[in-house]
């Protein structure tokens, strides 16, 4: 699992956005999709979800949603990492927002792992 957590960190570091977030989608401990957040575009799927949860559409594509869109198959685990600090080497809280939580629920993701300031937190949303 450690290599997948590091992959999420590496994807976050590759983000062109000021807020560096990266996501990794797994199925049976195999990577099926990754994506950083992208501040240069959004997606109609994200806009629909934002409306459903009562939020304004964001003007950038969240990494969780971009990862789900890029996936060629269904996953079971989503890992989300956010890095910050002057060298982008410090973990930050990356708990999925209501828009992304809705997307993860629709995708039937069974396990969500996200970074905190102290490490990673495991969340089992449907247990």
Domain ranges of the chain: 2-123
Q: What pLDDT does 125 receive? A: 61
Q: What pLDDT does 1 receive? A: 85
State the pLDDT confidence band at 127, using cuts at 50, 70 and 90: very low
With residues binned 3-state (H G I as helix, E B as strand, rest as coil), the percentages for the chain, rounded to 5, are 30, 30, 40
DSSP label at residue 77: E
| Residue pLDDT, tens place only, 49-94 | 777 777 776 678 889 999 999 999 999 999 999 999 888 889 999 9
CATH of domain 2-123: 3.40.140.10
Q: What pLDDT does 38 receive? A: 86
Contact 90/40 with Cβ under 8 angstroms?
Answer: no
């Amino acid at each position: 699992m450690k290599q997948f957590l590091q992959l999420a960190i590496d994807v976050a570091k590759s983000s062109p956005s000021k807020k560096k977030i990266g996501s990794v989608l797994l199925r049976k401990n195999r990577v099926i999709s990754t994506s950083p957040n992208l501040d240069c575009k959004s997606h109609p799927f994200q806009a629909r979800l934002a409306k459903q949860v009562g939020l304004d559409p964001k003007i950038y594509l969240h990494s969780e949603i971009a990862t789900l869109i890029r996936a060629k198959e269904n996953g079971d685990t989503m890992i989300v990492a956010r890095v910050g600090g002057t060298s982008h080497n410090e973990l930050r809280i990356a708990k999925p927002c209501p828009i992304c939580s809705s997307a993860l629920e629709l995708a039937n993701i069974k396990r969500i792992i996200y970074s905190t300031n102290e490490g990673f937190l495991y969340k089992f949303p449907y247990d």
